[in-house]
Structure 1
Amino acid sequence: MTAKVAPGQAGDDPATPTLTELLSQRAKDSPDREFLRYGEWSWSFAEIDDWTSRLAHRLIEVDGVRPGERVAIMLPNVVHWPVVWLATLKAGAVGVPINSSYQRADLAFVLRDSGARVVFTDADRADLIADVVAGEGVRVVDVADDGSEKFPATPPAAPIEGGALANLQYTSGTTGFPKACMLTHDYWVRLGWICASVTGLGPDDVLLTAQPFSYMDPQWNTALALTVGAPLVVLPRFSASTFMADVRRHRATFFYVLGSMPTLLSKQPPTPEDRDNDLRLVFCSGIPAGLHARLEERWGAPWREVYGMTESGIDLFSPFDDSDAVGSGSLGRPVPTKQIRVVDPDGSEVPDGEAGELVIAGRPMMDGYWNRPEDTARVLRDGWLHTGDVVVRRPGDGIRLVGRIKDMVRRGGENVASVEVEAALERDDRVVSAAVVAEPDETLGEEVKAFVQLAAGVPAELATAERIVERAGKELARFKLPRYVEFVADFPRTPSERIAKTALKARAAADRGVTYDLGARRGFLGIEVVHDVAVLTLRRPEKLNAMDVATRRRLASVIREFGTGETVRGIVLTGEGRAFSAGEDLDSVPSTEAGMREAFASFHDITRAILETRIPVVAAVNGIAVGGASEITLCCDTRIGTPKTVYYQPENGRGITISNASSVLLRRLIGNHAMRVVLGSPRIRADEALRIGLLDEIVEPGALIGRAIDTVVEWTPEGNTTALHLALLRPTAEDVEAAFAREDLAAAQAWESGVLAAGIQAFLSTRDTEKETST
């Protein structure tokens, strides 16, 4: 029976230098003890030792594999995966794990880049592989009939040392094609040895893994099981809804989860059986700080952070007896075989408390990237691995992750770490998982965009997006809050369960989901894309949704952005609450002639933006449309209202002149009724608005937006000439600009006479009196 690796031995050299010798040792000292368990089937150390020896002979004698040659493994989580891997190592060859879900392009790249001579797979993938390697002399072996039975159960006489290459371990490849880390026997054995020491696991424990075996985690779990002589349970895949039931069923005492797994587990409904398990400890990477204590309390075992990379194995960990680590967000401290530094871009160490890149030296460590000397030199410099992770070191508090160097949003003059925003969003019970990326922005350079996967039953609507961001705003600085929220059903992921952001952004570009622009926080304009139609919602805190200059500028900019027709087929303009919108925000009324001109210019710009679009613009007038806001609807190609729609233009009575080229558009739409609407300033209700032509249709409130969207769809069939007809039917630019000039002149005369200022002041005084009376 093997003994535990003592806690103080983590920095020592492993007692056995290679994985193959470890397996041989376990087969001798514990031949009948369980080693691997898949479902209801299990195999002892001796059985796996014999099987891998026979298969190693087959590789050498049938396939002609020589020491150092590569053998690829493309299988799901079946027992043949570790068997082929260990047999490959016994033959003195190098294993090449391949993600079992790879398709032609990724598969072809890995096979050609690695130079694999043999590929082990199953019937589901054999034809694809054979097609990819046709004519290249690569043998494809179906593991269902590996032909190893006739070979001896003694290991081949292939000399293997600790420094011999064991794996070409391809990284997840979230940006471009993956790179292969060259990992030795010593890498794997030392990784298992260190984990055994810091966990205190022994032969009476039961290890469990659910990640794809092509990723490194099940492989270091295998090395750990061989080190301590404990069984390893391998699940077919990770399923948040069944994972803890499998932990109970197999009486697992240890597992490792990473990425979104802890969050997904925490969001499963609690059950009375949660603490009915044999767990002693859990390793995890990426525990949300706010969930940490709840995870431990719910399942009754300590969860501790461990940090590492494929390139370096294990680097940092939080000891299981360190209760101060719970909820701290700390990644822990270096394992005894590693040294760390936190450096600036020039390589100089930064003071404690300042953010810098984490660089690591020590063992285990990859030998470099296969066939990538330039990439190796970029990442491994003077013996230090540059991780690309931005961290902060605080005395007595370990290392805290801030984000990835390439996973930051540069918003204006501020750096926003995606991981920080993601953590804040995921602490919301409405959110299953989140991914934050940079969205190009003309003004700020980049804006913050969040892709959000919602919990079951949570509606993917504007109010949900607002509440999620509002909650995150209690933890984050305002500049870190997402401007854009796109709801997704799921995320593309790497084999390590990390969100593949490059693939996510590509998917969104090809087929955008329900998306909201919460830029309304800086201009009060909500943006939603539904069925390829942009729905723009005017909304302000005041009951009439009055618009200021910033709101109008933002509206014109967004209309121009969508108006090209490159991303949407039409625009719907509507309001929030009981009002479509009011015009000038009289709480920020112009106090100078220049301010007055700026106000008019911003109204004019909305008119230009609408009339220049190549797609239909529909006004969905949900309630009262006052002043300049009602004039905005005149620019639209149609106006659809509800029984609650009211048009009201009080300008004449307040000494304000019309804008938005209304002197052309009103007469064009409603003829002689324009005089009464402007000079008499009556409230025009829905039925009359329909009769005189201010409205083209009236529908029930609940059907308004849907009808507006349907109108856009009806007007933009495939192969349409909508853009040409819009140009023919809309007023000419010359007529509109002439109207602007007349209106600007009238506004200037009203300003010079003092009528405009007096009218506004009278309105404000009346409103203030009403407020005092009501209180």
Structure 2
Amino acid sequence: MGEDPHTATLTGLLSERAQGSPDREFLRFGDDSWTFAEIDSWTSRLAHRLIEVDGVQAGDRVAIMLPNVVHWPVVWLSALKAGAVAVPVNSSYKRADLTFLLRDSGARVVFTDHERAGLLKEVTEAEAELADLRIVDVAADGSAPFPATAPAVRPTAETLANLQYTSGTTGFPKACMLTHDYWVRLGWTCAALTGLGSDDVLLTAQPFSYMDPQWNTALALTIGAPLVVLPRFSASGFFADVRRHRATFFYVLGSMPTLLFKQPPSPDDLDNQVRLVLCSGVPVGIHAQLEERWGAPWREIYGMTESGVDLFSSVDDVDAVGSGSLGLPAPTKQVRVVDPQGADVPDGEPGELIVSGKPLMLGYWNRPEDTAKVLRDGWLHTGDVVVRRPDGGIQLVGRIKDMVRRGGENIASAEVEAALERDDVVLATAVVAEPDETFGEEVKAYVQLAAGVAADRTTAARIVERAGRQLARFKVPRYVEFVTDFPRTPSERVSKPALKARAATEPGVSFDLGARRRTDGTPATPSTSADFLGIDLVRGVAVLTLRRPEKLNALDVATRLRLASAVREAGTGENVRGIVLTGEGRAFSAGEDLRSVPTSYAEVRTAVESFHDITRAIVQTRVPVVAAVNGLAVGGASEITLCCDARIGTPATEYYQPENGRGITISNASSLLLTRLVRNHAMRMVLGSPRIGAEEALRIGLLDEIVAPGELVDRAIDLIFEWTPENNTTALHLALLRPRLDEIEQAFAREDVAAQRAWESGVFSAGIDGFWTAKGAGK
């Protein structure tokens, strides 16, 4: 490796690549790509704009709030060329997170897109400290008139490059101060450890505001290889993208390996060019199977935002597969395992992992006390408890930190607690990690309620919903347990170990807001809604497929919420031109999963509301939504198709709305939507509950077309292309042509009243019992 990288700055690396191999591909987003020379010129022009238009001076902070688009790395590198410090912002942040980060960083300029500009404007108008913050829409970045040569600013290895926010060990997010040397050395170290070169193709799917795409960019600049950036991680479509782009390397962490492994095996699994996968937290039990299935080494790498890469399992170390080892120290790092007094512990005994060497952060921005706690005598205290194995490798045991790590996301308990405790009905909370098979850990909140507030599911859901308006989705608690008080330390802090120990022997009233239930009402295995919903990108269209064919794609609450979320994510039009909803097997969906039987009206309301949520999501999208109705569409699933902009079926398509006949609920929203589509036929469909086959559905206007089963999804995609020509005004027309949301909300309100009456009268339960009785009799 040598003693040090030959180039000291990221901008210097880009300049070298632009001069030495100007026409080589550097960045690829979707079907578009840019060479090293193109990115070098663009970033130089934008750096001039920052200096001459925005008045950015050396050391000023430039925030970036964007999804995975090419403008993200362009703004990053442009800010560095201007001598500024980049401040990555999670593009899913809501007002509370965003306000804190912008105030804490002291950003002068923020680059964003049209979708997020409104939120930023609200924040700047509400916060006097942010009144002078300049908001730049990347759609018109204003760089074109400026010179394509870099400004005279010359950063050095020690020049601050990023304020990279991380949840740290406790409290609200802290910004790690990362220099040019940090990034250059991180790319240089990873290049040496992996043996990657200019013939490789790197691929990343994580949000660019996180560390991983950024160090992948540094790696690409180091070795002169292209970096492919996916819009987001999709387990169902990930390896199709790996094959399409002929990627040879990628990095995954958290729940990503598990979600990939849970995808159905395919004959194409070994059809890829991958020669190395790096991962953090790969599940020991499936490590060898991951390698066998996709035919490449998967090797563990360990590090933190504060320290870059610390531990690494080499490609040649086959004994590390499935061992749980995090590997050996990287050549530029030294590690120790110490007790609370800082003394080294013997091999095999647990202690805290501490590291030194390069790269390493300078400290936490404006937090000297926090810096002093973590950086002591040149050693970074990671907060992770490990043991040193006989072979010298390091194995993780647990964490000292008060953190939840959900699917690769670091979540500070204190931040979630603060959001929960803003609710008037909450006296105090304590947030902890709950083990989870898919995500590694889930967020659990212990909640002490104000006097007189009912400790029921409705209250739990309401508290979590309110907190969710302030938090990113991944931070919202899944589990809520109500307690009457908290065990406390002598300093009056909540003792979370004592709290969890007490909950194990004397649990309070608990709710899993994402679990299915068996027919006897007892909790079942937590719902892994990701398993039941496939999300694929086909010709620029998001195809959302219900994948539970053995249950006729019956929907539980968790799957419905996941579907609504996926519709909203795709519905912005930012990365797709339309959405297709379909099912796997012989049914679009059998509607409500009647094995998830509600045990209270609060659960009935939650179930009904989750169907409402899908309707809201669909009618508020900015892109066309087409239902590809491959078979039976029952009840609430039928209603999902009705709020789509078109319905295409096959000869096997059949509509059935049995609610009125069973007394389960009254589909007021269906009544409203059906009347728009089929006029007088709506009355008999809702009140008479007939089965409507494909031909009749086409005749009365319930279906727009009937095609062969093998052509269904392709035809739905073709229709979206017809409706979204270049320079179109589709979004405007959709808002005019669709039913008004206030009308639908009125229908929902009537349905809620009817559902409550059905529950309280016993008709709801009787309808479900009648269904199971008839099913048992073979009817």
Quick check: TM above 0.5?
Answer: yes
Structure 2 match to 1:42: 33
The CA deviation at 1:351 is: 1.1
8 Å Cα contact 1:433/1:454 also seen in 2:
no
The CA deviation at 1:175 is: 5.7
8 Å Cα contact 2:69/2:231 also seen in 1:
yes
Structure 2 match to 1:388: 383
8 Å Cα contact 2:386/2:397 also seen in 1:
yes
Structure 2 match to 1:565: none
Q: SS of 1:349's equivalent? A: coil
Letter in 2 for 1:269: P
Are positions 1:24 and 2:15 aligned together? yes
1:273 equivalent among 268, 277, 295: 268
Structure 2 match to 1:190: 185
Flag the 1:349–1:126 CA change in 2: closer, same or farther, 3 A: same
8 Å Cα contact 2:170/2:402 also seen in 1:
no
Are positions 1:282 and 2:289 aligned together? no
Structure 1 match to 2:577: none
Flag the 1:273–1:383 CA change in 2: closer, same or farther, 3 A: same
Are positions 1:12 and 2:3 aligned together? yes
Are positions 1:447 and 2:447 aligned together? no
1:126 equivalent among 117, 128, 133: 117
1:59 equivalent among 39, 50, 61: 50
Report the count of equivalent residues: 468
Q: SS of 1:46's equivalent? A: helix
1:87 equivalent among 73, 78, 88: 78
| Ranges in structure 1 where 5+ consecutive residues have no aligned partner | 1-8, 410-417, 469-485, 492-527, 535-708, 717-775
Note the alpha carbon deviations across 1:479-501, whole angstroms, 9 max, x for none: xxxxxxx996689xxxxxxxxxx
Alignment map for 1:273-422 (pairs within 5 Å): 273-396=268-391, 398-406=393-401, 422=435
The CA deviation at 1:52 is: 0.2
8 Å Cα contact 1:304/1:320 also seen in 2:
yes
Flag the 1:344–1:451 CA change in 2: closer, same or farther, 3 A: farther
| Ranges in structure 2 where 5+ consecutive residues have no aligned partner | 405-431, 447-482, 484-497, 529-555, 563-597, 605-754, 763-779
Letter in 1 for 2:319: D
8 Å Cα contact 2:334/2:357 also seen in 1:
yes
Letter in 2 for 1:369: Y
Letter in 1 for 2:502: G
Are positions 1:108 and 2:68 aligned together? no
CA distance in 2, matches of 1:176, 1:77: 28
Flag the 1:155–1:364 CA change in 2: closer, same or farther, 3 A: same
8 Å Cα contact 1:434/1:453 also seen in 2:
no
CA distance in 1, matches of 2:389, 2:63: 43
Structure 1 match to 2:656: none
Q: SS of 1:447's equivalent? A: helix
The CA deviation at 1:368 is: 0.4
CA distance in 2, matches of 1:309, 1:458: 41
CA distance in 1, matches of 2:500, 2:143: 66
Runs of 4 or more, structure 1, over 6 Å off, are 438-443, 448-461, 709-713
Taking structure 1 as the reference length, the TM-score comes to 0.56
Letter in 1 for 2:121: A
Letter in 2 for 1:216: M
Letter in 1 for 2:264: P
Flag the 1:432–1:188 CA change in 2: closer, same or farther, 3 A: closer
Q: SS of 1:368's equivalent? A: coil
Structure 1 match to 2:196: 201
Structure 2 match to 1:574: none
Once structures 1 and 2 are overlaid, which stretch shifts more, 459-468 or 274-283? 459-468
Flag the 1:408–1:20 CA change in 2: closer, same or farther, 3 A: closer
8 Å Cα contact 2:307/2:361 also seen in 1:
yes
Note the alpha carbon deviations across 1:18-38, whole angstroms, 9 max, x for none: 000000000011100000000
CA distance in 2, matches of 1:85, 1:238: 22
Letter in 1 for 2:374: V
Q: CA RMSD in A?
A: 3.6
CA distance in 1, matches of 2:517, 2:268: 25
Taking structure 2 as the reference length, the TM-score comes to 0.56
Structure 2 match to 1:435: 442
The CA deviation at 1:12 is: 2.5
The CA deviation at 1:133 is: 1.8
Structure 2 match to 1:177: 172
The CA deviation at 1:104 is: 1.1
The CA deviation at 1:714 is: 4.1
Structure 1 match to 2:149: 154
Alignment map for 1:587-666 (pairs within 5 Å): none
CA distance in 2, matches of 1:370, 1:130: 25
Q: SS of 1:224's equivalent? A: helix
Structure 2 match to 1:247: 242
8 Å Cα contact 2:169/2:403 also seen in 1:
no
Structure 2 match to 1:505: none
Note the alpha carbon deviations across 1:470-529, whole angstroms, 9 max, x for none: xxxxxxxxxxxxxxxx996689xxxxxxxxxxxxxxxxxxxxxxxxxxxxxxxxxxxx97
Letter in 2 for 1:445: R
Q: SS of 1:57's equivalent? A: helix
Q: SS of 1:395's equivalent? A: coil
The CA deviation at 1:177 is: 2.3
Letter in 1 for 2:177: M
Letter in 2 for 1:63: D
Flag the 1:451–1:333 CA change in 2: closer, same or farther, 3 A: farther
Flag the 1:55–1:533 CA change in 2: closer, same or farther, 3 A: closer
8 Å Cα contact 2:187/2:216 also seen in 1:
yes
8 Å Cα contact 1:533/1:712 also seen in 2:
no
8 Å Cα contact 2:515/2:527 also seen in 1:
no
The CA deviation at 1:466 is: 11
The CA deviation at 1:275 is: 0.5
Letter in 2 for 1:435: E
CA distance in 1, matches of 2:257, 2:138: 34
Structure 2 match to 1:691: none
